[in-house]
Amino acid sequence: LLFHREHNRIATKLSQVNPHWNDEKIYQEARRIVAAEFAHITYNEFLPRIVGFSMANKYDILPRTNGYDSNCEATISHSFATAAYRFGHSLSRRTEVDPRTYQTTMSNIDVLLFRNYLFAIRGNPQSGLDLITINIMRGRDHGVPNYRELCGLGQAFSFVDLSKEMSSSTIEALTSVYESVDDIDLFTGIISEKPIAGAVVGPTAACIIAEQFSRIKKCDRFYYENAKKSSTSMKIYYTDQMQQLRRVTLSSVICANHEWIRRVQPHAFSLPHRHLYARSLLIMKKKKQKSRI
């Protein structure tokens, strides 16, 4: 809904600046701009929060990096789709959402998992499915590599070798359900790892997610930073347009499309600190009015 509003806002601005454009032209240009904004927010704000800036730098996923690679392998890996990018399933609450929790920060990956409530029928406690079990079985059906066979963590010869990436209580729990350390499923290992510095996920998930998004960007000739002047299949963004796109943040999009929001923190994916004032809506609106894409 937020980006629907952003599309309509930009379309309105474009029609004012270009009154000779027809509806289709306005729609396509607004669509192109909003797609670039969404991509920029994803790579500039969301991904560094998930995988950490060190991993984002290692895999070259931050904006203003190398462009389109025609030899790039654009497929989505099984390890990403089946295990690593399902890390959010372990962040689900066990019970209903309490509106008061909107004022608290998102938790890191929790080994106390969301269980037995998926597609449950009200009044039938035996009807629910186990989301985590489904993820584990899907990984086995797809034949994804076992935990630690990816991303250079080194082979674990015993459960003790996991102590650097996992807590002692987690290792104890894994020991109770897996006969050998070699049997640990990738999804299970990923959500059992301690988050790396500045990230939500552990080293294996961060590696898989960062590598995948790096290829998603570099393999896409329509990604907003990959356009070349020699390309005849898409329009390029000129220097001033690119500068405006790189100024866009999720906070600025929120402020530009919600009249009733008085303040929002500069970094929308982080909880505002009570000692640091959030950015003023009026200030952001003034800046937004001065910018043109």
Annotated binding site for heme b: 89
Q: Are 105 and 236 in contact (CB under 8 A)?
A: no
Q: What is d(CA 280, CA 73) in angstroms, rounded to the nearest whole number? A: 43
Q: Are 54 and 197 in contact (CB under 8 A)?
A: yes
Q: How far is CA 88 from the centre of its chain?
A: 10
Residue 264 DSSP symbol: E
Q: Is 238 exposed, middle or buried (0-12, 13-18, 19+ CB in 10 A)?
A: exposed
Residues belonging to the binding site are 89
Distances (CA, A) of 200 to 109, 154, 162, 191: 7, 22, 19, 10
Amino acid at 125: P
Q: Are 23 and 174 in contact (CB under 8 A)?
A: no
Among 136, 132, 131, smallest CA distance to 120 is for 131
